[in-house]
């Protein structure tokens, strides 16, 4: 299966990758996709993940053609 993995904001700088197309085996989770792309850095606990532009849990399985995106945690603030 082929998927596209994207990294945003501070994560992009941290891992040194903006996006990468990869092949993954059947029954690959989003967390496993992270590990396939970012071999030397563990998936941080507070990272947000999206599958095809919808936030999902990192235990979600990927499917052929999915776009997986990783975002740093969102912080709020007053106006």
- The DSSP string of 22-75 is EE--TT-BHHHHHHHH-TTSPPPTT-EEEETTEEE-TTPBP-TT-EEEEEPPP-
Q: pLDDT tens, 8-35?
A: 999 999 999 999 999 999 999 999 999 9
Task: Characterize the bridge pairing of strands 48-51 and 67-71.
Answer: antiparallel
Question: pLDDT value at position 28?
Answer: 98
Judge whether 9 lies within some domain: yes
Q: Is the pLDDT of residue 62 over 60?
A: yes
Helix (H) or strand (E) holding 13: helix 9-15
Query: How much is the pTM?
Result: 0.89
Cα(33)–Cα(11) distance, rounded to whole angstroms?
A: 15
CATH number, domain at 41? 3.10.20.30
Number of domains, the chain: 1
Structural domain span for residue 64: 2-71
Confidence of residue 74 (pLDDT cuts 50, 70, 90): confident
Judge whether 53 lies within some domain: yes
Judge whether 77 lies within some domain: no
Q: Is the pLDDT of residue 77 over 80?
A: no
């Amino acid at each position: 299966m082929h998927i596209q993995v994207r990294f945003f904001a501070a994560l992009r700088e941290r891992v040194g990758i903006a996006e990468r197309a990869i092949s993954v085996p059947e029954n690959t989770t989003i967390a496993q996709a992270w590990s396939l792309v970012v071999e030397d850095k563990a998936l941080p606990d507070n990272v947000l993940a999206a599958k095809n532009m919808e936030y999902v849990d990192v235990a979600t399985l990927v499917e052929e053609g999915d776009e997986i995106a990783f975002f740093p945690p969102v912080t709020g603030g007053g106006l």
